[in-house]
Structure 1
């Protein structure tokens, strides 16, 4: 009996433990990675189609357009402010211009008066000779004339030079006069001088025909 039991015990051998599962191969890892990336791109594409997020390129283009529009608007506002300031300064200039009348002394020199007085004293026949020679000694027209034409007032000297050259090209004699007015330095473009109203009227007609505004300035005699 004991012998049979020993045989049975010998027959019951210990079975070996099952081997551990093999590690996943590289192919499976790559497959999982590709599948994850595909799912991510697919989800992003669905979000793009839904309209929740705009394209990145559109965002950059829109921001660039907004900046350009803001710069253009700021530049336009600056130009409008400069134009308004120039128009206001021009209006104030023409309002104040009558107060700046140019005084020209056309009286003959004292030495000429002394010469005439000495020739009138010797004899009674002297007045006739003086009268006969008086046309030759008549007072010459003033160098500054009787009229000037104001054809512009500019803050920049380059603009005044351009206007002066334009007047010269039209056959008018132009000059630039620097004047301090209303706390600002202006460069006045003037044409003349003109000895008669016919001359100044003809010059004004030329200016109007070329679209140039002007104002007539009478010089005190």
Structure 2
């Protein structure tokens, strides 16, 4: 899990998305501060001292590009833009403003967390690429998982699901939470979660006892 000293500032004017991003990053172990716009931006940066910033481009008042430029004048804090703008000119403008990464809406929250983590590792804020739970070792940079030294062959979705459960180990996560964080929506058939948890269990239990518990009537918990 990321170091508790890794601080992420999120500036997004859409409240549901802002809350979802903040929750996903918090669940991954980051310290998060959120804002709806760039009001008091310099004071916020000075007090919070973020290790990275997630900025929407289209914000009321001062847009994300201007905020990124202001942030760059204060240090080398990496910036990841989230935006609905996907044109070449938009991307060039973002990287011209100092973007370290750029993700198009709508996106999967687990992917955003992975990208923030990757940016922080590139800048040296996070030094360990692996998370270990018992004999399970997850390497998010190499996108691999091993148990008892045995490589586990996972699909991309199974890997996102395992990563989410690992970062929330010891906590019971509902099917709705899992759908939202791993698939990016919460109005789909919850049987999808059951099917993927079952497949993931089969692969993990080839090399050891059960790790993912069913909490009846609530959801699932990875033992930590």
Q: TM-score range by the shorter chain?
A: under 0.3
In terms of Rg, which structure is larger? 1
Structure with bigger helix share is 1
Superposition TM-score, scaled by structure 1 size: 0.23
Q: Which of 1 and 2 has higher RCO (CA within 8 Å, sep 6+)?
A: 1
Superposition TM-score, scaled by structure 2 size: 0.22
